[in-house]
Amino acid sequence: MPAAFLEYIRSKGSRSPWARTDTVRIGGATVPRFFDEFWTARQRQASSLHEISYRACFKPQLPRFFIQALTRPGDVVYDPFSGRGTTVIEAGLLGRNVAANDINPLSRLLTAPRFWVPSLEEVAARLDALDLTREARADMDLSMFYHPRTEAEIVNLRAYLLEREARGQADHVDNWIRMVATNRLTGHSSGFFSVYTLPPNQAVSPVRQMLINVSRRQKPEYRDIRSRILRKSRSLMRSLSKNDIVALRQAGQRAVFLSKDARCTRELPADYVHLTVTSPPFLNVVQYARDNWLRCWFNGIDAGKVEREITASNSLAAWSQVMEAVFAELYRITAPGGWVAFEVGEVRRGTVNLDEHAAPLGMKAGFRCVAILINCQQFTKTANIWGVRNNDVGTNTNRIVVFHKE
């Protein structure tokens, strides 16, 4: 099977100016390394259902590439660092069974509802049935983000959703509304509940938002949350076919959603997973808990607890120690003949290529390192925001180490 995969990679070669192949010595083995543009950078070619904002998420084309190459319908696809759920949503759309894990409980709230897509009419009817007009204030000062009427609507919706959850009455429509509202809390356009702030995958602090308001000479205006939830719902559903919705629901019925440390997922049996496609945290490059404090508040999640539980590695040695244990767990749950596509980035402005450190860790766990794929693309909007203007660092390059369990 590894030989067939390598042939598949060669068949996907493009005429990109940076396309080339070489080899690298890892753990006494010679591993082929492919530089190319293996999938498009254009988000529009993916399902609209993926358009949920979350820090440091890869594009759907990445997991699709490996799912199509290495699995068949009915196989189990897993992501131990699931984030917004890109891998498992794509797998569900392709008729695979799924398992998702992320120690941040927000991940499950953002992922699971998209396996049970309601109709737009169901969403509208549920929202119309709610009284969001009662006077209400948050238990913290959010005046720098929201107009008082908008804040009242958010607080009333939050109270309804948390009460439904506590009573065990939340259904697929409630969960969908919760997921969409979580993604509309703050952002940089009129489609969000808040005044202009940073992109929605980063919730700035109240103090920082006050500075933004002063700098832009802005004041939060009233924004109706019902219409914005419906607008985003329509956008998420726009490319879905009836077959897509059926495939997702079938995958959701058999899905496993965990909020565990990726090093200890005993709920997953041995030899269970056919393919893992994942991207682990990179040396504290992204502060997930800090970026999601407002989302945590809306969902009744203790952001401090999340901060304490998320494994933050300040050094390469600490990162490697954590990933060594992750690979041991992945080896346990991977079926013989199964695969792992482990995406890592270039950090510290390209001075650390984590693929060269991840490869021997996977091999130590028992995997065979089949190849390293380096997908190179023109810079993206996100890269431009962060001052990345070449194909050497940051979001321009995906470095994926591909492992096989014999």
Band (41; pLDDT cuts 50, 70, 90) = low
Band (392; pLDDT cuts 50, 70, 90) = very low
Mean pLDDT computed over 299-308:
85
pLDDT, residue 350, reads 62
The CATH number covering residue 9 comes to 3.40.50.150
Tell me, yes or no, whether 54 and 135 share the same domain: no
Of 228-237, 298-307, 379-388, the one with minimum mean pLDDT is: 379-388
Q: What is the mean pLDDT of the chain?
A: 89
Of 57-61, 194-198, 265-269, the one with minimum mean pLDDT is: 57-61
Whether 204 maps to a domain, the answer reads yes
Tell me, yes or no, whether 28 and 143 share the same domain: no
Nearest to 292 by CA among 49, 134, 109: 109
The predicted-structure confidence for 357-390, as pLDDT tens digits, reads as follows: 999 999 999 999 999 999 886 544 443 333 334 3
Mean pLDDT computed over 344-361:
79
Tell me, yes or no, whether 185 and 248 share the same domain: no
Q: What is the pTM of this model?
A: 0.92
Tell me, yes or no, whether 357 and 259 share the same domain: yes
pLDDT, residue 385, reads 36
Q: Which residue type occupies 144?
A: M
pLDDT, residue 383, reads 39
Whether 305 maps to a domain, the answer reads no
Tell me, yes or no, whether 78 and 208 share the same domain: no
Whether 167 maps to a domain, the answer reads yes
| Structural domain that includes position 400 | 2-107+242-289+311-404
The predicted-structure confidence for 281-296, as pLDDT tens digits, reads as follows: 876 656 666 788 999 9
pLDDT tops 90 at residue 391: no
The predicted-structure confidence for 313-337, as pLDDT tens digits, reads as follows: 778 898 999 999 999 999 999 999 9
Mean pLDDT computed over 54-67:
88
Tell me, yes or no, whether 273 and 203 share the same domain: no
Tell me, yes or no, whether 281 and 149 share the same domain: no
pLDDT, residue 347, reads 63
Band (351; pLDDT cuts 50, 70, 90) = low
Task: Give the CA distances from residue 5 to residues 125, 315, 338, 404, in Å, rounded to whole numbers and listed in that order.
Answer: 49, 33, 12, 10
Tell me, yes or no, whether 254 and 345 share the same domain: yes
Tell me, yes or no, whether 36 and 135 share the same domain: no
pLDDT, residue 315, reads 85
pLDDT, residue 118, reads 98
The predicted-structure confidence for 86-117, as pLDDT tens digits, reads as follows: 999 999 999 999 999 999 999 999 999 999 99
State the total domains in the chain: 2
Of 172-181, 205-214, 302-311, 372-381, the one with minimum mean pLDDT is: 372-381
